[in-house]
Amino acid sequence: MARLLDQWRANRANGNGRRVPEYAALATAIRGLLRDGRIPLGVRLPAERELADALGISRTTVTAAYRDLRETGHLTSRRGSGSFTAIPGGQRVGSAGLWTPEDAGDMIDLGCAAPVAPAQFAEAVAEAANELPRYTAGAGYHPSGLPALRERIAAAFTGRGLPTSPDQILVTTGVQQAVDLILRLLVSPGQAVLVESPTYPNVLAALRAHRTRVVTSSVDPVDGWEEELLLAELRATRPTVAYLIPEFQNPTGHVMPHRLRSLLPSVAHRAGTDLIIDESFVELFLDEPTDAGAARPPVASFDAHARVLTVGGMSKPYWGGLRVGWIRAATPVIARLSALRVTVDMSGPVLDQLVAAAMLDRAGEVLAARRRELRERRDVLAGALRQQLPQWTFTPPRGGMGLWVELDAPVATALAQAAHEHGVRLAPGPLFGVAGTLERFIRLPFTLPGPDLVEAVRRLAGAHADLTRARPASWTPPSLVA
Amino acid sequence: MARLLDQWRANRANGNGRRVPEYAALATAIRGLLRDGRIPLGVRLPAERELADALGISRTTVTAAYRDLRETGHLTSRRGSGSFTAIPGGQRVGSAGLWTPEDAGDMIDLGCAAPVAPAQFAEAVAEAANELPRYTAGAGYHPSGLPALRERIAAAFTGRGLPTSPDQILVTTGVQQAVDLILRLLVSPGQAVLVESPTYPNVLAALRAHRTRVVTSSVDPVDGWEEELLLAELRATRPTVAYLIPEFQNPTGHVMPHRLRSLLPSVAHRAGTDLIIDESFVELFLDEPTDAGAARPPVASFDAHARVLTVGGMSKPYWGGLRVGWIRAATPVIARLSALRVTVDMSGPVLDQLVAAAMLDRAGEVLAARRRELRERRDVLAGALRQQLPQWTFTPPRGGMGLWVELDAPVATALAQAAHEHGVRLAPGPLFGVAGTLERFIRLPFTLPGPDLVEAVRRLAGAHADLTRARPASWTPPSLVA
């Protein structure tokens, strides 16, 4: 090691003339050896004193250098057994959902089904800023959410034919927190949670984080839910909770039939199951008149035993950077969730909630524009796929934000890897299921502008064409999938 | 029951002439019987069909009424065994930290140590609104935090003598989430976590929620930490994590001596303990020159083994309604926390983070004003207490936001109860410890304006005077303590 390090003092010159401290130079040298593999990963570095003696420098310098290496992730300690070489981000392997800005650049991101903010956003922010003084004079803590926002959310449910009082609403920092809070309140490690297969990857990640036992009920790419099968699975497995997406199911895009909606709550009640109904996409119907939503009664409207917890939020119809979601449930459940929430993050951001209220006041125009935009982009994406990749099949959804595409072979993961090299970040089917299933599918969101979608399909066709090339081992699936 | 309900149809007239539906009238009648105790709590209501027959109405009406009662929390179901009467919020008993707006009014809130927003807040919001377009053109997801904010936070640490790169910073939605994320990553149910006694109630609540085993090390109201005792406890109990507040410890206000700071990390490392160092109050020194912070090296600056996770945030020095906190740790730990965070709430609010960045750019003036204000209010509160309640003792802290007051008898809970009747919300000592200890203490924040503090002390003197009166059983401690 000392021999390998003979030139380390060279690192003290830092380009612009000034000299860096000895410890930093030593750390840089060791990082260099790690990078070009002259020191392998996972090997034990000499004790600080040994290395100090070998290099003829003070132990303090070596200590500082090792500490620097630890903070940059090139060294890990195991108590009693010394310091071992590592690479930064090595810990990321297997960790779900980490955003990696490095992946940006020319990359077209089809991993996230997330739109940019609506045109009315700045206007809503200005309105919120005017409202703010009424709140900045207080401590700013409203764990259940700002009354003004809870009222608007309750009114929206009531408007959809589901009478709701503000006491039945908890405002959360996004739908993800809504689901996480409910899991914390209702599910213990090892208990069963039923989800659709395929379903939303970040909820699967949350279920893994809570160490729940995941049971799945499949949603057919063409036909959607199989009523008898789903109800039978509820009766048989009696899961603690079931998580379902009745509107424009993510990722298949299906809409749950009226009859199944009406049967779910009582079957769930008899099975002792609470239902998490995710309405993230409920407003995003693309082929129907504006009042079409009313034709689809919320699952909660069939709930006679306070078994349904309905979650929704601003991320999909409005903007993901606005972290506002909600839970609708019976008042006592909301009270318990609010109490739990204080231990999790105290309370939500006041300003974001005021912006959300201002956006909801503009729901009509915002959603109309969003639907128009998504309809056009869906059709552009569908057209490009039919033309360039006719061997892939899909049913254009009547709403939502993505196509669930069946490939001509079970190669989704390999395709995503190839696509990455061609400049497209892709969410392969297995991300939406458990145990590496769904290799025949990919989700293609249509949230980007038409030209980007056309270019993305062109690159996908290229990736599909050279699926045979060997892949660099380093590749990992897109980390943030929304 | 049918007899008790004979007049229920009277409820159909709703004052302004219009008639409410039958089911609503029936629900109102049953709520009335519950309220005035003619139906006791926890009793089983007749089955829907029975009641329908007895009242000569359709079963649907009874079903709808029962559902209404469930949603308002007056009825709970137990599978197989029918519907039982309840009271809304009954579920709140024993649930920590639920904010109850009803408690407002003339009540002076000494439960929360939380200031109103600084004068510069509106200005910072305007600046943030100008920055926003650079972000609204994207999906809005930044699970590790906005780079611009991470850089400012890292620079602030570096400025305090602790070299820090933005990669070592995770932006959270407040300090509470910072602690919760760390507990999720590092601690399993049943593992030991060491905290100071007394300590911050919401962290105790989080530890309970994580089902950790809490071990305490006492901080003396007069002398603060006992170095040898704390280090011995670390060596003996070898907790998975220790949570400590070195600056203006909450609630005692003590500052950890330099020597103990320098010893903690290595002792913790040998014990296999990771340290959560809460710096919420670090900027709030009140009796020292502005650069005094530098005289107190961060505990992390003595960390040679990446054992220290430093948490801090905007809530205390700036405003609690701005939900921005952070974690400073080794890069690989931050990477793992960011991945975990995606499963918890995806990402933080963009707008709040931009406001936080703008506030940090104004740190100098904002903190100077905050210190001046807190210094004056501390002295007003201390003066009023010495004058009106001389039998209580306290050591005015050199910083932070509250006095830790020792009473003349172990009556904190009874006093808080009496104070509530006199119009003061009070945080009794036991909230800051485990197993009902600390009955001799209360925390009195000095975040409210001087006149409110003087009035609060006047009311406390009144409450202290009639501590002998009987208390209504209904009283519960202040729910949100910040």
Which pLDDT band holds residue A330 (cuts at 50, 70, 90)? very high
- Nearest-by-Cβ selection for B77 from A73, A305, A339: A305
Q: Is the pLDDT of residue A464 over 70?
A: yes
In B, which residues are within 8 Å of A76 by CB distance? 332
Across the interface, whether the CB atoms of A331 and B139 are under 8 A apart is answered: no
Q: Chain B, 91-120: which have a CB under 8 Å from a chain A CB?
A: 91-92, 95-99, 101, 109, 112, 114-117
Across the interface, whether the CB atoms of A95 and B340 are under 8 A apart is answered: yes
- Nearest-by-Cβ selection for A343 from B70, B114, B209: B209
Q: How would DSSP label each residue in B10-50?
A: GGGB-SSSPBPPHHHHHHHHHHHHHHTTSS-TTPBPPPHHH
Q: Is the peptide bond between B297 and the residue preceding it cis, with omega within 30 degrees of 0?
A: no
Q: What is the pLDDT of residue B272?
A: 96
CA-based nearest distance A132→chain B, Å: 8
Residue position matching structure tokens 């000095």 = B446
Q: What is the pLDDT of residue A440?
A: 95
Cα–Cα distance between B321 and B306 in angstroms, integer?
Answer: 32
Q: Is the pLDDT of residue A62 over 60?
A: yes
B121-131 vs A121-131: helix crossing angle, rounded to 10: 180
Q: What is the pLDDT of residue A291?
A: 63
Helix (H, G, I), strand (E, B) or coil at B219: strand
Across the interface, whether the CB atoms of B92 and A339 are under 8 A apart is answered: yes
User: Chain B interface, mutation test: which of A49, A109, A182, A323, most B Cβ atoms within 10 Å?
Assistant: A323
Q: What is the pLDDT of residue B93?
A: 26
Q: In this complex, is the C-beta atom of A84 within 8 Å of any C-beta atom belonging to chain B?
A: no
Burial zone of A241 (CB within 10 Å; 0-12 exposed, 13-18 middle, 19+ buried): buried
In A, which residues are within 8 Å of B133 by CB distance? 122
DSSP B305: S
Across the interface, whether the CB atoms of B143 and A480 are under 8 A apart is answered: yes
- Nearest-by-Cβ selection for B180 from A109, A344, A352: A344
Q: What is the mean pLDDT of chain A?
A: 88
Q: Which residue of B has its CA nearest to A140?
A: B321
- Nearest-by-Cβ selection for B73 from A142, A172, A330: A330
The domain segmentation of chain A, as residue ranges, is: 1-89, 92-118+365-482, 121-361
Token pair for A434: 């458990």
- Nearest-by-Cβ selection for B332 from A88, A137, A482: A88
Top pLDDT among B92 and A30 is at A30
Q: In this complex, is the C-beta atom of B54 within 8 Å of any C-beta atom belonging to chain A?
A: no
Top pLDDT among A139 and B357 is at B357
Among residues of chain A, what percentage have pLDDT more than 90? 68
Nearest CA among A235, A416, B482 for reference residue A217: A235
**Which has the minimum average pLDDT: A66-80, A147-161, A191-205?**
A66-80
Token pair for A15: 């380009």
Q: What is the mean pLDDT of residues A315-341?
A: 95
Cα–Cα distance between A275 and A265 in angstroms, integer?
Answer: 7
Q: What is the pLDDT of residues A360-377, one digit of tens each?
A: 999 999 999 999 999 999
Which pLDDT band holds residue A432 (cuts at 50, 70, 90)? very high
Across the interface, whether the CB atoms of A321 and B88 are under 8 A apart is answered: no
Q: What is the mean pLDDT of residues A43-60?
A: 88
In B, which residues are within 8 Å of A206 by CB distance? 343-344
pTM: 0.80
In B, which residues are within 8 Å of A150 by CB distance? none
Q: What is the pLDDT of residue B34?
A: 76
- Give CATH for domain A1-89: 1.10.10.10
Q: What is the pLDDT of residue A87?
A: 66
Q: How would DSSP label each residue in A378-429?
A: HHHHHHHHHHH-TTSB----SBSSEEEEEPSSS-HHHHHHHHHHTTEEEEEG
Q: What is the pLDDT of residue A322?
A: 95
Q: What is the pLDDT of residue B366?
A: 96
User: Which residues of chain B, if any, have pLDDT below 70?
Assistant: 13-18, 36-37, 78-80, 87-105, 290-294, 468-479
CA-based nearest distance A282→chain B, Å: 20
Q: In this complex, is the C-beta atom of B212 within 8 Å of any C-beta atom belonging to chain A?
A: no
Q: How would DSSP label each residue in B398-435?
A: SBSSEEEEEPSSS-HHHHHHHHHHTTEEEEEGGGGSST
Across the interface, whether the CB atoms of B272 and A79 are under 8 A apart is answered: yes
Strands (E), B280-371: 308-313, 325-328
Q: What is the pLDDT of residues A85-134, one digit of tens each?
A: 876 654 332 223 333 333 445 789 998 888 899 999 999 999 999 999 88
- Nearest-by-Cβ selection for B480 from A88, A143, A479: A143
Tell me if the domain spanning A121-361 has CATH number 3.40.50.300: no
Q: What is the pLDDT of residue A100?
A: 37
Cα–Cα distance between B363 and A293 in angstroms, integer?
Answer: 48
Q: In this complex, is the C-beta atom of B335 within 8 Å of any C-beta atom belonging to chain A?
A: yes
Cα–Cα distance between B341 and A222 in angstroms, integer?
Answer: 34
Across the interface, whether the CB atoms of A323 and B173 are under 8 A apart is answered: yes
Across the interface, whether the CB atoms of A91 and B332 are under 8 A apart is answered: yes
CATH topology of domain B92-118+365-482: Aspartate Aminotransferase, domain 1 (3.90.1150)
Q: What is the pLDDT of residues A118-128, one digit of tens each?
A: 999 999 999 99
Residue position matching structure tokens 């524009």 = A369
Q: In this complex, is the C-beta atom of B223 within 8 Å of any C-beta atom belonging to chain A?
A: no
Q: Chain A, 160-179: which have a CB under 8 Å from a chain B CB?
A: 165, 167-168, 172-174, 176-177
Q: What is the mean pLDDT of residues A10-39?
A: 76
Across the interface, whether the CB atoms of A321 and B349 are under 8 A apart is answered: yes
Q: In this complex, is the C-beta atom of B184 within 8 Å of any C-beta atom belonging to chain A?
A: yes
In A, which residues are within 8 Å of B202 by CB distance? 342-343, 346
Q: What is the pLDDT of residue A78?
A: 66
Q: Chain B, 376-415: which have a CB under 8 Å from a chain A CB?
A: none
CA-based nearest distance B62→chain A, Å: 11
DSSP A242: E
